């Protein structure tokens, strides 16, 4: 008796399916997006004249990243920054995602209020890059359709 591999071919077998996120993961992703927009609004309120040019520069960066990066670079892991990330590095303890988000929001919010000339540009560039990458992705999807 020979060992014969049986392959069943289904329609769509060659298409990778994205893993589906749980409801709590989807809600957390929405909370992250809402938090980012809230920080942007707060930054624009703190200094519109700093926020707008840095947001536009960030959009240019995001578009460039979208169109020049490889798929591996696009899937790179997210890295924490600032004090909370530094404390994670020192202690080796990674906080739960919700606590980490709240901590990072509090730190950034206070810094925007007290160090506007530094943190409004940082947030503006970051949000602009996010918007630029999203615009590039949408543009790519529209062109493929």
pLDDT digits (tens, 9 = 90+) for 43-97: 999 999 999 999 999 999 999 999 997 766 655 545 555 666 777 778 888 888 8
* Residue 53 burial (CB count, 10 A): 14
Task: Reduce the DSSP state of residue 37 to 3 states and report it.
Answer: helix
At a CB cut-off of 8 Å and minimum separation 6, what does 61 contact? 125, 128, 129, 132
- Reported as a pLDDT band with limits 50, 70 and 90, residue 13 is very low
Q: Quick one: average pLDDT of 7-14?
A: 46
Q: Which long-range contacts (CB under 8 A, 24 or more apart) does 96-99 make?
A: 97/28, 98/28, 98/31
Domain definitions of the chain by residue range: 51-64+81-137
pTM of the predicted model as reported, rounded to 2 decimal places: 0.73
CB 120, CB 51: distance < 8 Å: yes
**Tokens coding 91:** 């202690």
Instruction: Tell me the CA end-to-end span of the chain in Å, nearest whole number.
Output: 49
Instruction: Give the residue among 41, 68, 63 at the shortest CA–CA distance from 52.
Output: 41
In the predicted structure, residue 145 carries a pLDDT above the cut 60:
yes
| Residue given tokens 């996120």 in the structure block | 21
pLDDT of the residue at 134? 93
């Amino acid at each position: 008796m020979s060992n014969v591999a049986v392959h069943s071919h289904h329609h769509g077998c060659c298409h990778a399916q994205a893993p589906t996120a749980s409801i709590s993961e989807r809600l957390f992703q929405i909370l992250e997006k809402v938090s980012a927009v809230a920080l942007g609004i707060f930054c624009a309120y703190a200094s519109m004249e700093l926020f707008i040019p840095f947001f536009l520069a960030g959009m240019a960066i995001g578009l460039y990243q979208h169109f020049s990066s490889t798929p591996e670079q696009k899937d790179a892991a997210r890295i924490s920054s600032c004090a909370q990330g530094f404390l994670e590095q020192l202690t080796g303890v990674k906080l739960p995602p919700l606590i980490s988000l709240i901590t990072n929001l509090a730190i950034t919010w206070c810094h925007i209020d007290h160090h506007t000339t530094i943190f409004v540009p940082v947030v503006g560039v970051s949000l602009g890059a996010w918007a630029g990458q999203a615009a590039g992705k949408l543009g790519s999807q529209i062109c493929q359709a």
